Amino acid sequence: MARKFLILISLLILIPFLVSAQPAPLASPEPWTADDIKDVLTLIANFLIAVGIIGAVITLVTAGIIYFASGFNANAVAKARGLFRSALIGTLLIVGAGVIINTIGVIVTGEFFGTVAPGPGGGAQIGDSCEVGDCGEGLLCSQTRDKKVSICVRKQGGLVGEPCIDKSDCASGLACDPKLINKVPRTGTCTKPKSAPILKP
């Protein structure tokens, strides 16, 4: 009886989460970043922690009711103690799993080791994805108009073969060829103009 009651209560708690779930798109137009992975892991961890705590409270209340309603019945007291022990062990396992998953998310982004966002004169090199201030000395963070893609480029303009977003990222006399794609999507390569259509900034 108690097991059926716990299953019913668990389903009633989980139904709002299941109903409000949004289907994920089949194909992401942009690759996942470390922050995206951390966000997903954080959602999973928080869900596990919430479910674990709610389940523990329900099980502890059930164990308490059985214990106080048992009177001096040894079987009922033993059952209540077993439920109490199971609730504590389950809570520790689920909350522990949530903490471990959160920790993995922090390690993935580099925050655990203090290596996130190098800041002004940071460690990002030519062609690396960036945010303003991430690029190394002599480099700047160039962005597309919609600001969805940004890469580090030379301040004086890129040389032949270096990545670019538009013509302004290349040295004088060079053009940005969008057909020569680099490791970052929606970027091109600086080339001599005769071999490439010129992209205007």
Residue count (the chain):
201
Q: pLDDT band at 119, cuts 50/70/90? A: very low
Report whether pLDDT(34) > 80.
no
143-181 tens-digit pLDDT:
877 777 788 888 888 888 888 888 788 888 888 887 766
- Residues 61 and 49: their CA atoms lie apart, in Å, by 18
Report whether pLDDT(6) > 60.
yes
Is residue 87 a contact partner of residue 60, using CB atoms and an 8 Å limit? yes
The SS3 call for residue 191 is strand
List of E strands, the chain: 139-143, 150-154, 163-164, 175-177, 188-191
Cα 12 to its chain centre, rounded Å, is 28
Q: pLDDT band at 19, cuts 50/70/90? A: low
- Residues 110 and 117: their CA atoms lie apart, in Å, by 9
Tokens in use for 149? 């893609």
List of E strands, 46-155: 139-143, 150-154
Q: Look-up: residue for tokens 């299941």?
A: 18
